[in-house]
């Protein structure tokens, strides 16, 4: 399941941004699924970072993450068979690492974690 989640996340990022990360790894716990993505920025974003436009790149990344949210949640729910309660996304520029974390509903008991 971890590999399928990582692949789906990379594919969605590629569809939305035009370039997927070069490395992705999913970590799965009973109430949390986290995907760590490396080398996510495209050439234009790297150029902007070099020119000191970090906040602009981070703002665009946040917009992508917000826009992709429903698709990411659907993919995670499809692979895990669990409901996603919350999606938390963030990007770090140097080094180029992004994270997609999904807080999952507990299986069976209906209570929130």
> Domain ranges in the chain?
2-104
Average the pLDDT over 4-23 and give the result: 93
**pTM: predicted TM-score of the whole model, two decimal places:** 0.89
Token digits for 39?
């080398």
Confidence category of residue 32, pLDDT binned at 50, 70, 90:
very high
pLDDT above 60: residue 75:
yes
3-state secondary structure the chain: CHHHHHHHHHHHHHHHHCCCCCEEEEEEECCEEEEEEECCCCHHHHHHHHCCCHHHHHHHHHHHHHHHHHHHHHHHHHHHCCCEEEEEEEEECCCCEEEEEEEECCCCCCCCC
């Amino acid at each position: 399941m971890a590999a399928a989640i990582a692949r789906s996340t990379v594919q969605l990022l590629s569809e939305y941004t035009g370039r997927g990360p070069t490395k992705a790894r999913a970590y799965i716990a009973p109430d949390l699924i986290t995907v760590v993505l490396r080398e996510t920025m495209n050439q234009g974003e790297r150029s902007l970072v070099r020119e000191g436009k970090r906040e602009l790149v981070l703002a665009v990344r946040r917009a992508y993450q917000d826009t992709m949210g429903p698709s990411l949640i659907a993919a995670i729910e499809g692979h895990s068979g669990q409901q996603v309660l919350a999606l938390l996304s963030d990007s770090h520029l140097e080094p180029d690492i992004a994270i997609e974390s999904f807080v999952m509903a507990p299986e069976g008991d209906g209570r929130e974690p």
